[in-house]
Amino acid sequence: MKAVKKDMIERMRSERSGFTLVELLLYAIIFSVSAIFLVNILTSITQTEVRQNSANNVSQQVSFVADTIQRLVRQASLIENPAGVASTSLSLRMSATSSDRMVIYTDASSTGIFLTQTDSNGVVSTNALTDSNVTVGNFTVTKSETSGGPAVVEVNLTLNYNTTVDRAKVARSWYGAISRISAATFDSNLVPNSSNAFDLGGSGANWKDGYFAGNVTIAGKLGLGGASLAGTLSTLKSAGDVGFSTSSAGVVLVSPGGTCYRISVSNTGTLTTASVTCP
């Protein structure tokens, strides 16, 4: 009898020490759901981190390019871009001979933004303002000119993160209008882009003084002292005196025969003439 009871107790202990099939299935379901939940959380965190890193990278490069353009435009002596024409490059003349001309541009394949510097010896150096992590979605520069005011450069810039992974694709844009805050100082020829089309100053908007170390060639008429040339055939007209600083200077006239004479004055105020080489 004792042996039978002992056997029954051992059998009951054996049955309680294992797992039933229902318990195993329940445990498997709980583990699977927990694993899927944790994997989704990890995936979401990873995707967010990747996208945030992409956004930070693009934002930093957009800021660097924008800051560089603003700084160089304000330091420039001249903005060479034609007014009102959108361009993929910005050409600047600088006062320093080590970087007389600077061009900021995007290449034909839009792989980046570049800065080219040309020194006074014609040596060209090129530096990349962006790296291979980004591509250029848009880079457009337009110069605007206002009457009586400085030139303004409008810049539209868009950089894209360079990736084929959809969740990491990020684009950042920047728009700015930049004007020079100081007067222009030219270090090269000041040449209009169209001959006989533009004025230097105007009626009621006159320059004060002009200083030239070389020759001045005038193809039209010259009015001095505010003299109006309207309705006159004179090439030179003065509303005041024409003075000479030395007695050896005078007015040179050409005779009908082609000989030139200088008209001057003696100490007694008498006009005298002397044959001179024709100018």
179-196 pLDDT, tens per residue? 876 555 565 677 777 788
Residue located via tokens 């318990």: 23
Domain spans of the chain?
A: 2-45, 60-179, 250-279
Give me the half-sphere count of Cα atoms (radius 13 Å) on the Cβ side of residue 238.
4
Q: What is the mean pLDDT of the chain?
A: 82
Closest CA relative to residue 69, chosen from 134, 9, 152, 2: 152
pLDDT in tens, 111-162: 999 999 987 777 889 999 999 999 999 999 999 876 656 789 999 999 999 9
Supply 179's token pair: 């004007």
% helix, strand, coil for the chain, step of 5: 25, 30, 45
Q: Who wins on pLDDT, 80 or 18?
A: 80
- The H or E element that residue 8 is part of is helix 2-16
What pLDDT is recorded for position 248? 84
CA angle 142, 148, 151 (to 5 degrees): 20
Q: In 10 A of CB 169, how many CB atoms?
A: 13
List of E strands, 17-100? 78-79, 89-93
Spatial contact of 83 and 91, defined as CB atoms under 8 Å apart:
no
